[in-house]
Chains A and B, each alone.
Chain A
Amino acid sequence: MFLTISTTGTSGRPATDLGFLLHKHPDKAQQFSTSHGTAHVFYPEAGEERCTAALLLEVDPVALIRRGKGKGRGGAPDSALAQYVNDRPYAASSLLAVAIGSVFSSAVKGQCTARPELTGERRPLRIEVPALPARGGAELVERLFAPMGWAVTAEPVALDERFPEWGDSRYVSLVLEGESTLRDALRQLYVLLPVLDDAKHYWVAPDEVEKLLRFGEGWLEGHPEQRLITNRYLARRWGLTRDALERLALARLAEADDTEAEQLDNAVDEQADTEDKPVPLAVQRREAILGALRAAKAARVLDLGCGQGQLVGELLKDQRFTEIVGLDVSMRALKEASRRLRLDRMTERQLARLQLLQGSLAYTDRRLTGYEAAVLSEVIEHVDPPRLPALEYAVFGAARPATVVVTTPNVEYNVRWETLPAGRVRHADHRFEWTREEFRAWARTVGERHGYDTEFMPVGPDDPEVGPPTQMAVFCKRDRNEPPKSEPPKHETPKEVKAA
């Protein structure tokens, strides 16, 4: 919420010209009302040799929240506690950028009615932003500002000196020194402060693309980080999706647990591509699954844990699949799936083949009985091992489709991923990753218990040493007349009532 802009000068070219350029008199303290609080402009020093203008934005934290759209319950647009205790009043966030744009609007436009000749001049400038939120750290700050010729000093700020083990915060103390027109410097701050902040709870005006083009003129076109800047600047608008109801509910549950919302709300990957790298593996996996379903002559199929509907989309393309059910526990994933599959544009006939359902494999579900095949593609590894037996029973014991296709990562292959540090799983939410032996042992046990024969297939390049990246099991229900050795699942019966 605070930054200073200094310049130096001589008697012929006094530093106090800064006052003309900013359109703010150096001997006055002025205040401006902005949408998030009051902005103050004053000059700690104003001499011929040195002149410093300070912009201080007094964010009204209570108003910041109460401005939220909701009435009554919760009140705020995102009624998570993060809204109430946040760094906006202190950090040089996107709110400060907005203030720059409005308080120094003529300077940003490069207008100076009193001294128009000053606007094009490059001057020695020193800009200090003591608390700059910088996702990407000091190193990124350097990469963003240096290409415009700034000498960048970005000092990391410790989170809390009493707890050195917590490490650095996401703030840096920034000093930029160099020669630039004031207009360009302000425009760069206007764009780059929010880019570095990269906050999720930020509102974006509809003309943001146009603004970016305008303010980036002259420096963004050739900027080596142009893509990152553009992505982050514009990507913030997707932060708005946090307001979706299903996300709020999860955020509240996270809060009840003193947990960050992202820890629970991770069913939809924020990154555009949810697939493993390299992407072709996902394609190969879907091909393998489709192959297994076709071989089983299944027409009515369940995609259990359908996520954002990639496999459902493939199934829809093949008319032999006459009834397709995509089931997921995440409402957000289902919403995303219906968006991707363009459910709203499907004809009645197309829609008749497809159902997207919220459901959970931790429970038996009558809606899932009577299908010919079920797919569990990259699902089991997202279930805590103690809860796998429930899933087994729900699928193999209760739903009992004739064919079940299960895919899961082969952990042995992880050594072949160059980017994956040793010992790490492929996705943060993987509760386990199995070796080929572990997977097969599990599959055979499940098959025996519920009367299915099992067959295993590699997906992706079958490495002679570590096997394929993805492993697949196809379970075939044994003939009805050859009943399963139906031991009940291996759990103990809790006593409901003590026998007398």
Chain B
Amino acid sequence: MTTNATTLAVPDLCLVVLVGATGSGKSTFAARHFKPTETISSDFCRGLVSDDENDQSASKEAFEVLHYIVGKRLEAGRLTVVDATNVQPEARKQLVHIAREHDVLPVAVVLDVPEDVCAERNASRPDRAALSRRVIQRHQRELRRSLRHLEREGFRKVHHLRGVAQVESAEIVRERRFNDLRHLTGPFDIVGDIHGCRSELESLLTRLGYALQRDEAGRPVDAAHPEGRTAVFVGDLVDRGPDSPGVLRLVMGMVAAGHALCVPGNHENKLGRYLKGRQVNVAHGLAETVEQLEREDAAFHEKTREFIDSLVSHYVLDGGALVVCHAGLPEKYHGRTSGRVRSHALYGDSTGETDEFGLPVRYPWAEDYRGRAAVVYGHTPTPVATWLNNTICLDTGAVFGGKLTALRWPERELVDVAAEQVWYEPAKPLVSEAPGGAEGRPLDLSDVTGRRVVETRHLGNVAVKEENAAAALEVMSRFASDPRQLVYLPPTMSPCATSKEDGYLEHPKEAFAAYRAEGVARVICEEKHMGSRVVALVCRDGEVARERFGVPDGVPGALYTRTGRPFFDDAGLTRGVLHRLGLGIEGTGLWEQLDTDWLLLDAELMPWSLKAAGLLRHQYASVGAAARTVFPGALAALESAAARGVEVSALLDRQRERATDAAAFTEAYGRYCWPAGDRGEDGLDGIRLAPFQLLAAEGRNLALLPHDEQLAMVDRMVGEEGGRLLAPTRRLVVDTGDEASVAEGIRWWLELTAAGGEGMVVKPLGAHVRGEGGKLVQPGVKCRGREYLRIIYGPEYTRPENLAKLRIRHLGHKRSLALREYALGLEALDRLAAGEPLWRVHEAVFGVLALESEPVDPRL
């Protein structure tokens, strides 16, 4: 409609196209009503490409830039104003096209001021003073010719401002889009496709807690929830079923009373056209509705027609967290307004193919969906409503004898009632899976590659570099376990600050002091087991493992390494370890206590030599062998030379010390090696597994529990299992502010390491702790034993001159890495616990692996 009013309404997301001759005051107008960043002017773009805002020869390039910027802004959902003459239809056509491409409405604002005014204004501007009067005249002519066609060109609104006064007095009012109901936070009860099943709808609303209101004839005309909940109908109220008018009456009543919202389904759309007297194909259940409507009066017909006319294709609700529409909607269409948005919302996307029943093959848009908002929809009948990538289809085929289903939001609970009978025979059997197929399909590459920023609950945004993602992609694809089982990877851990104690590079004193400084009063020292890291996914049985995590062959879980590789090649050994873990959990009653069928654990598997045999032989033992072989001869030669009176005493002493260091090195790695493991389920001899952290169970991120609680549960598991495979983790709680307690912690560490232990890990007792100022503190630091560190820093690291050099080590990057990986790991567990889509869990897990490939001093 063309308005002459000086109050100009524009949707809060649209493309405003200013139309007017040069000098008509467009820039002034734009500056008065819009933010400077909202307005893109052709003069500005001319300047960008040619350094001269008036260089008409640069127009082509300038408009390319303008169109590009406009496109980017619209893509981002920002209102944009184009400040150019736009008097030629060709110029406007391109802008309308860009608006449609981004599914926003184009709005024209015509600044129609007399030629003299334009000429006068141009004359007063030095850069335009030379502009020929004929240019203005041409613009005016083109404007006149354009006026009648603007609406036909596709402008949804045309504001025609006549004369200087109207231009100057005009006010812009931004209107919320119809589909934008973000301010409504519910709670909601979203109801699936009803198709005239009025009785089932009554039952469902009653079960949801709504009180029905009836008219004199006993027909339900409204329903209200005592707690003020709002019902939301996903459309397809009508057709096929026994009482479409009854459903309409109830829903229209609820909507009118403000007790419900409703989006249109394709069946309403068609009924609306029928009611308007358009030619429609009376099929797919419309015949039943038409017949039932014949019993209603004209007023009801009219009311229905108006109701259907008033329906908005989709709603964005609850601060943007929820989108409701009939047939599903990709994220880029949320809150947008265009023909194709409406079409997708009503009909979904189709591949253009038809199936063997002659029905269009629907494109599985939900498989690709990666949006933050939950999309709740209907349209495709399925036996069970299932979440897929944060979308859920609530059409459970009530009219075909299935169920009528509702989703409680934000509770995400499903409530359903069974159909009273088969009201209508389906044209084809209901598909056996949710639309979009099973989640067994692979994840998409765009979920993991390139530079990524992963949003975490505990540390904000964590960036993953492209080259690190590339390395992780290779390992993840070629070596890792199935992503459905790979729900977590453990983070790296930083050592404590470098010690200045004589002879030590790491010493617990530093760990206690650091935590004390951060305001952490109580820490737990845990024995650090020296073996290979293993993440254990333990399920109650093979069936649970298959159902929940897609584990094949009845194996009740999975064991994998720090980079996600299956821990054992041998399925028998995997079963054996899972079996023993299962015994421990079962005996403890943890399944019931945690109300879960599966448990994810972090553990260390010993001996080291079991998994690291290659590394031990080729690297560690080799060094030992070379040293062992070379020193006797070298020392003998030096002794002979000394005996001859050659001055070699200093050299000899040094070589003796080196020989001793080398022997200590051999001793150090040898402690972590013993023969163990055979193939098969009973091949566990010699293997020890020390679980030291519970990670997650169904619906819960257990890694946030205090460590003493966790370890108490682990102790019980070890006890129940009988300690045949499982090993306990010794620990000591230290009060960082109490000198005696700190001294006790140091003594404990010295004893532990003197007995050949790797060392200990010091963690805040409360596990997930923020220090003063709210900063996340290190989730743990390691204090490795003096002898153990020979394996890391080389046999001779303890020599004073070497220690002096080695003390210069930079922990900053390692500490930052440890925190980032920790946050990503927790995020994966949180997402897993919250039942988020697989791609969301995988994104965080992949992030940990990618960060592990960041360059950092490997000895830390």
Chain B nearest CB, measured from A174 CB (Å): 11
Q: Which residues of A contact B387 (CB under 8 A)?
A: 496-497
Q: Which residues of A contact B647 (CB under 8 A)?
A: 29
A250's partner among B471, B481, B624, B666 (CB-CB below 8 A) is B471
Are the C-beta atoms of B440 and A81 separated by less than 8 Å? Answer: no
- A81 and B447 contact, Cβ closer than 8 Å, known pairs A42-B646, A162-B670, A488-B438: no
Are the C-beta atoms of B443 and A364 separated by less than 8 Å? Answer: yes
Q: Show 7 residue pairs from A and B whose CB-CB distance is below 8 angstroms, ordered by the A residue.
A: A74-B857, A79-B858, A85-B620, A331-B470, A331-B471, A488-B441, A497-B835
Are the C-beta atoms of B855 and A74 separated by less than 8 Å? Answer: yes
Are the C-beta atoms of B794 and A85 separated by less than 8 Å? Answer: yes
Are the C-beta atoms of B623 and A85 separated by less than 8 Å? Answer: yes
B433's partner among A2, A131, A384, A488 (CB-CB below 8 A) is A488
Count B interface residues, CB 8 Å: 131
B384 at the interface (CB under 8 A from A): yes
The segment from A109-117, A143-151, A251-259, A312-320 that touches chain B is: A251-259
Are the C-beta atoms of B471 and A54 separated by less than 8 Å? Answer: no
Are the C-beta atoms of B474 and A250 separated by less than 8 Å? Answer: yes
Instruction: Give bound CA distance, A371 to B563, whole Å.
Output: 34
- Per CB-CB distance, the 5 closest pairs between chain A and chain B, nearest first, are A491-B440, A249-B471, A44-B640, A500-B413, A90-B626
Are the C-beta atoms of A363 and B447 separated by less than 8 Å? Answer: yes
Given contacts A90-B623, A366-B445, 7 further A-B contacts (CB under 8 A): A4-B637, A40-B648, A79-B858, A81-B792, A90-B630, A130-B632, A495-B547
Interface string of A46-75 (1 = CB under 8 A from B): 100000101010100110001000001111
Chain A nearest CB, measured from B840 CB (Å): 10
B438's partner among A29, A361, A483, A492 (CB-CB below 8 A) is A492
Are the C-beta atoms of A258 and B608 separated by less than 8 Å? Answer: yes
B791 at the interface (CB under 8 A from A): yes
Are the C-beta atoms of B547 and A492 separated by less than 8 Å? Answer: yes
A159 at the interface (CB under 8 A from B): yes
Are the C-beta atoms of A258 and B615 separated by less than 8 Å? Answer: yes
Are the C-beta atoms of A45 and B644 separated by less than 8 Å? Answer: yes
B194 at the interface (CB under 8 A from A): no
A257's partner among B448, B561, B637 (CB-CB below 8 A) is B561
B250 at the interface (CB under 8 A from A): no
Q: Which residues of A contact B384 (CB under 8 A)?
A: 499
Are the C-beta atoms of B532 and A258 separated by less than 8 Å? Answer: yes
B589 at the interface (CB under 8 A from A): no
Nearest residue (CB) in A for B448 is: A363
B437's partner among A165, A169, A488 (CB-CB below 8 A) is A488
Nearest residue (CB) in B for A331 is: B470
B852's partner among A256, A258, A358 (CB-CB below 8 A) is A256
Instruction: Give bound CA distance, A361 to B445, whole Å.
Output: 9
Nearest residue (CB) in B for A169 is: B625
Q: Which residues of A contact B532 (CB under 8 A)?
A: 257-258
B444's partner among A361, A366, A382 (CB-CB below 8 A) is A366
Q: Which residues of B contact A362 (CB under 8 A)?
A: 442-443, 476-477, 483
The segment from B291-299, B315-323, B740-748, B802-810 that touches chain A is: B802-810
B519 at the interface (CB under 8 A from A): no
Instruction: Give bound CA distance, A12 to B216, whole Å.
Output: 139
B467 at the interface (CB under 8 A from A): yes
Instruction: Give bound CA distance, A128 to B632, whole Å.
Output: 13
- A363 and B444 contact, Cβ closer than 8 Å, known pairs A45-B644, A131-B626: yes
Size band of the interface chain A makes with B: 35 or more
- A61 and B796 contact, Cβ closer than 8 Å, known pairs A364-B445, A500-B414: yes
Q: Which residues of B contact A489 (CB under 8 A)?
A: 437-438, 440-441
Nearest residue (CB) in A for B441 is: A393
Q: Which residues of A contact B386 (CB under 8 A)?
A: 493, 495-496, 499
Are the C-beta atoms of A29 and B651 separated by less than 8 Å? Answer: yes
Are the C-beta atoms of B445 and A365 separated by less than 8 Å? Answer: yes
B577 at the interface (CB under 8 A from A): no
Q: Which residues of A contact B433 (CB under 8 A)?
A: 488, 493
Q: Which residues of B contact A330 (CB under 8 A)?
A: 474
Q: Which residues of B contact A384 (CB under 8 A)?
A: 566
Most buried by B among A75, A250, A488: A488
The segment from B89-97, B232-240, B548-556, B704-712 that touches chain A is: B548-556
Are the C-beta atoms of B857 and A166 separated by less than 8 Å? Answer: no
Which positions 551-585 of chain B face chain A at CB distance < 8 Å? 552, 561-563, 565-566
Nearest residue (CB) in B for A252 is: B853
Q: Which residues of A contact B626 (CB under 8 A)?
A: 87, 90-91, 131, 133, 157, 169, 171
The segment from A100-108, A232-240, A260-268, A458-466 that touches chain B is: A260-268
Instruction: Give bound CA distance, A94 to B681, whole Å.
Output: 47
Instruction: Give bound CA distance, A255 to B384, whole Å.
Output: 45
A211 at the interface (CB under 8 A from B): no
Chain B nearest CB, measured from A301 CB (Å): 19
Are the C-beta atoms of B858 and A483 separated by less than 8 Å? Answer: no
Chain B nearest CB, measured from A224 CB (Å): 28
B415's partner among A86, A170, A260, A500 (CB-CB below 8 A) is A500
Instruction: Give bound CA distance, A159 to B447, whole Å.
Output: 46
A420 at the interface (CB under 8 A from B): no
Instruction: Give bound CA distance, A187 to B707, whole Å.
Output: 63
B793 at the interface (CB under 8 A from A): yes
Instruction: Give bound CA distance, A362 to B832, whole Å.
Output: 21
Q: Which residues of A contact B620 (CB under 8 A)?
A: 85
Chain A nearest CB, measured from B486 CB (Å): 11
Q: Which residues of A contact B467 (CB under 8 A)?
A: 245-246, 249
The segment from B33-41, B353-361, B775-783 that touches chain A is: B353-361
B836's partner among A79, A496, A499 (CB-CB below 8 A) is A496
Are the C-beta atoms of B468 and A249 separated by less than 8 Å? Answer: yes
- A29 and B648 contact, Cβ closer than 8 Å, known pairs A250-B471, A362-B476, A366-B446: yes
Q: Which residues of A contact B562 (CB under 8 A)?
A: 256-257
Chain B nearest CB, measured from A160 CB (Å): 5
Are the C-beta atoms of B475 and A250 separated by less than 8 Å? Answer: yes
Are the C-beta atoms of B447 and A387 separated by less than 8 Å? Answer: no
Are the C-beta atoms of B646 and A29 separated by less than 8 Å? Answer: yes
Which positions 598-644 of chain B face chain A at CB distance < 8 Å? 608-609, 611-612, 614-634, 636-641, 644
Q: Which residues of A contact B631 (CB under 8 A)?
A: 90
B388 at the interface (CB under 8 A from A): yes
Nearest residue (CB) in A for B646 is: A29
Are the C-beta atoms of A44 and B473 separated by less than 8 Å? Answer: no
Nearest residue (CB) in A for B648 is: A29
Most buried by A among B361, B474, B632: B474
Instruction: Give bound CA distance, A167 to B563, whole Å.
Output: 29
Which positions 414-454 of chain B face chain A at CB distance < 8 Å? 414-415, 433-434, 437-449
Q: Which residues of A contact B128 (CB under 8 A)?
A: none
A337 at the interface (CB under 8 A from B): no
Chain B nearest CB, measured from A468 CB (Å): 27
Q: Which residues of B contact A52 (CB under 8 A)?
A: 637
Q: Which residues of B contact A253 (CB under 8 A)?
A: 471-472, 475, 563, 849, 852-853
Q: Which residues of B contact A66 (CB under 8 A)?
A: 805
Chain B nearest CB, measured from A184 CB (Å): 24
Are the C-beta atoms of B471 and A4 separated by less than 8 Å? Answer: no
B695 at the interface (CB under 8 A from A): no
Are the C-beta atoms of A260 and B618 separated by less than 8 Å? Answer: yes
Q: Which residues of A contact B561 (CB under 8 A)?
A: 257
Q: Which residues of A contact B300 (CB under 8 A)?
A: none
Are the C-beta atoms of B857 and A252 separated by less than 8 Å? Answer: no
Are the C-beta atoms of A360 and B625 separated by less than 8 Å? Answer: no
Instruction: Give bound CA distance, A73 to B625, whole Å.
Output: 31
B79 at the interface (CB under 8 A from A): no
Are the C-beta atoms of A360 and B473 separated by less than 8 Å? Answer: yes
Chain A nearest CB, measured from B560 CB (Å): 10
Instruction: Give bound CA distance, A80 to B634, whole Å.
Output: 30
Nearest residue (CB) in B for A66 is: B805
Chain A nearest CB, measured from B86 CB (Å): 36
Are the C-beta atoms of B641 and A61 separated by less than 8 Å? Answer: no
Instruction: Give bound CA distance, A96 to B527, whole Å.
Output: 42
Instruction: Give bound CA distance, A65 to B565, whole Å.
Output: 30
A497's partner among B412, B440, B640 (CB-CB below 8 A) is B412
Instruction: Give bound CA distance, A249 to B476, whole Å.
Output: 13
